[in-house]
Amino acid sequence: MILFFGKDKNLKEKIAYVISRIFEPLLWLGLLGVAVISSPAMDGHSRTMWSAELLVFLVGLPLLTLWLAFKKGKITDIDFTKKEERTPYLLAVIFYWALGMILTWGLGGPKIITKLLLVAVILGIMMLVINFRYKVSGHALGYTIAVLLMNEFYNWQYWWLIILVPVVWWSRQAQKKHTWGQLVLGSLLAVAGWMIWRIF
pLDDT higher than 90, residue 1: no
Rg (CA), the chain: 17
pLDDT per residue as tens digits for the range 60-78: 999 999 999 999 998 988 8
Q: Cα separation of 56 and 105, whole Å?
A: 16
Q: Cα separation of 95 and 93, whole Å?
A: 5
Spell 179-190 as b/e; 16+ CB within 10 A means b: eeebbbbbbebb
Q: For the chain, give me the number of helices (H) and strands (E)?
A: 9, 0
CB 184 within 8 A of CB 135: no
**What is the predicted pLDDT for the residue at 8?**
65
| Among 95, 97, 101, 123, CA closest to 195 | 123
**What is the predicted pLDDT for the residue at 146?**
98
| Among 93, 45, 32, CA closest to 66 | 93
- H/E run at residue 113: helix 111-131
**What is the predicted pLDDT for the residue at 32?**
96
**Domain locations in the chain as residue ranges:** 51-133, 134-200
Query: How many residues belong to the chain?
Result: 200
Does the predicted model carry a pTM greater than 0.85?
yes
